[in-house]
Chains A and B, each alone.
Chain A
Amino acid sequence: DGGITQSPKYLFRKEGQNVTLSCEQNLNHDAMYWYRQDPGQGLRLIYYSQIVNDFQKGDIAEGYSVSREKKESFPLTVTSAQKNPTAFYLCATTGWTYGYTFGSGTRLTVV
């Protein structure tokens, strides 16, 4: 969507398993974000990164980890420590002037 790609679209996780969600952008933006959305609710910030090799915790970082080794990529790992990971995960990026550009999301389900 508009230069930012999330994969996979659907992901299933078994109990005790770590899974990684991919987010890639070709907009040359410095800032990238991960949000979690539960049914019928707004978005809550998990992690964000304003520059390569640096990232900060958001409001609900427990049980998640990220890396930012390249400007284009900001993968999110949902660890086994996240006890309720079933949700819709959205990645976003911004060049600051015109708001955020969001990916199309990954729906994660625990099986």
Chain B
Amino acid sequence: SQQGEEDPQALSIQEGENATMNCSYKTSINNLQWYRQNSGRGLVHLILIRSNEREKHSGRLRVTLDTSKKSSSLLITASRAADTASYFCATDAGETSGSRLTFGEGTQLTVNP
């Protein structure tokens, strides 16, 4: 079952612009994570935000979490062509889900040079 749903499915921007991706989920969570996947490769963990946190930063990444709306957003500032990839949110519902991650279907980001 897909817990997270990303929006938009695809996003195309120019280098230097900011990119915002959104994720909605259905059940209560322990934490929410964002991953990046380059074409044909494995996923790379970007950032984890716990259910009691509202915002987190890591370099050019900013993640927000609104548990009342069951939604999260990932902001990439000053994008670069190398940021071109698919971005996935994943939710960890803790013991009730067997402590496993459930992934959304991803946002394909294209950054044009």
Contact = CB atoms under 8 A, between A and B. Distances in A.
Interface of A: 1, 6, 31, 33, 35, 40-45, 48, 50, 56, 58-59, 88, 90, 92, 96, 98-105, 107
B42 interface: yes
A44 B104 CA distance: 9
9 contacts: A6-B42, A42-B2, A48-B100, A99-B48, A103-B42, A104-B42, A105-B41, A105-B42, A107-B40
Contacts of A41: 105-106
Given A43-B103, A48-B98, A50-B99, 20 more contacts: A1-B42, A6-B42, A33-B101, A42-B105, A43-B88, A45-B100, A45-B102, A56-B98, A58-B100, A92-B43, A98-B45, A99-B33, A100-B35, A100-B90, A102-B35, A102-B42, A103-B42, A104-B41, A104-B42, A107-B40
A45 B2 CA distance: 10
A42 B106 contact: yes
A42 B104 contact: yes
Contacts of B103: 35, 42-44
A100 B102 CA distance: 12
Interface residues of B, number: 23
Rank and list the top 7 A-B pairs by shortest CB-CB distance, nearest first: A99-B45, A102-B42, A42-B105, A43-B103, A42-B103, A102-B43, A104-B42
Interface of B: 1-2, 4, 33, 35, 40-45, 48, 88, 90, 98-106
A54 B38 CA distance: 32
Dominant SS among interface residues on chain A: strand
A107 to B, nearest CB: 8
B68 to A, nearest CB: 24
A78 B2 CA distance: 22
A101 B2 contact: no
A33 B100 contact: yes
Contacts of A40: 105
